[in-house]
Amino acid sequence: MAVSARKKGEEPFFPAKADLVRPRSSSGLTHALDRLEPVTPSFIESIAPHVDVVKVGWGLPMLLPRERLAERVRAYHDAGIQVATGGTLLEYAVVRDRVGAFFEGCRAAGFDFVEISDGIIDIPASRIAQLAEEARHLGFEFFIEVGKKNPQNQLSLHETVERVQAARLLKPSRVILESRESGRGVGIYDGEGNIKWDWVRTILATHPMADLLFEAPQERQQIQLLVELGNEVNLGNVALPSVLPLATQRRGLRGDTFGTVRSSHEVKGSPATKFVYYLLESYHGLDQGEIVRLSQLPRRTVQSALEELRRKGLVGESVSLVDSRRRIYRLT
């Protein structure tokens, strides 16, 4: 039996070392959750090429002595990973009127990002804007999280879309869609942890995917979002032990996504146009009625989006083989 040999000039199958490029592209980000589990320098080094930000969750930074907290942050920095606080910590500071001390402590510990949220308490929009401006003035990058932690006190889809819009106007690094660590009964997830795709599609019809970070703590949620939205979707609340499994999913190196995860084509235009393109990329042929149903966009908006995509040569129209009265739209 002949044994295949490596072709002349061909790269070795296994890389000599993992690529580590910082900063990474503006999409396909992985945002991991540190629960203060024991971690070794070798473990951090192994995940470093595949994670962009590690969040020390909730109020956990309050449980470490200041120097130990700073040492943990430095360990991530040494591997080229940025570090964020969780939103709960700032909410704790707001309730106790200690926001100034919070920012001072974050600077001393070396945090790169602060997360601004009102998942537990209600914070007026004007106050959130003040916190964002203070973070920016002090040199911090920041996330704004949208959503409530209590499953019995959830925002409606309309409220979620509106709050994402208000958050984006403050120019955060990303707007995070809340899921909690459980990924159940909060935000885009139902009580069983299933993705509410009508919510996802409505949010993406209004807001660019690159501006959003979907918290997806469960591996099955990560897989489903990758398959449906492409490997450029930003994912958060990823457990540290799940960072490398997620990296294989992004690259199609695991059975769930082998040959299915795509790298989304960059489409310029309105959010509606981009969303219609995404639907056609996902479903490989739809008529106008199906696009309206899936996107929940007005028919006139869908027609305008299709016309724009056709002018750019990205979409073609053909007659349905089943019903000659129907026009089917596919990517060219």
pLDDT tens-digit readout, 79-98? 999 999 999 999 999 999 99
| Per-residue pLDDT, 22 | 56
Cα–Cα dist 332/324, whole Å: 20
Q: Is 241 exposed, middle or buried (0-12, 13-18, 19+ CB in 10 A)?
A: exposed
Domain at 30-250: CATH architecture: Alpha-Beta Barrel (3.20)
Matching residue, tokens 């890389």? 15
**166-172: long-range contacts at Cβ-Cβ below 8 A with a sequence spacing of 24 or more?**
166/125, 167/128, 168/207, 168/211, 170/128, 170/129, 170/132, 170/144, 171/132, 172/116, 172/132, 172/142, 172/143, 172/144
Residue ranges of the chain assigned to CATH 3.20.20.70: 30-250
d(CA 305, CA 295): 12
Residues of the chain with CATH 1.10.10.10: 271-331
**Phi then psi for 42, rounded to 5 degrees?**
-70, -35
pLDDT number for residue 54: 98
Supply the pLDDT for residue 4.
Answer: 73
Q: Is this structure's pTM higher than 0.85?
A: no
Match 């470093």 to its residue by tokens. 48
Please state the three-class secondary structure of the chain as a single string.
Answer: CCCCCCCCCCCCCCCCCCCCCCCCCCCCCEEEEECCCCCCHHHHHHHHHHCCEEEECCCHHHHCCHHHHHHHHHHHHHCCCEEEECHHHHHHHHHCCCHHHHHHHHHHHCCCEEEECCCCCCCCHHHHHHHHHHHHHCCCEEEEEECCCCCCCCCCHHHHHHHHHHHHCCCCCCEEECCCCCCCCCCCECCCCCECHHHHHHHHHHCCHHHEEEECCCHHHHHHHHHHHCCCCCEEEEEHHHHHHHHHHHCCCCCCCCCCCCCCCCCCCCHHHHHHHHHHHHHCCECHHHHHHHHCCCHHHHHHHHHHHHHCCCEEEEECCCCCCCEEEEEC
Q: Which amino acid is at 316?
A: G
* pLDDT, position 1: 63
Q: If you count them, how many residues does the chain have?
A: 332
pLDDT (tens digit per residue) in 42-69: 999 999 999 999 999 999 999 999 999 9
* Digit-coded pLDDT (tens) for 11-26: 777 777 776 655 566 6
Q: Does domain 271-331 fall into CATH 1.10.3720.10? A: no
Q: Which residues of the chain have pLDDT under 70?
A: 1-2, 9, 19-26, 259-266, 282-284, 321-322
Q: Is 167 exposed, middle or buried (0-12, 13-18, 19+ CB in 10 A)?
A: buried
Other Cβ atoms within 10 Å of 23 Cβ, number: 9
pLDDT of residue 92: 98
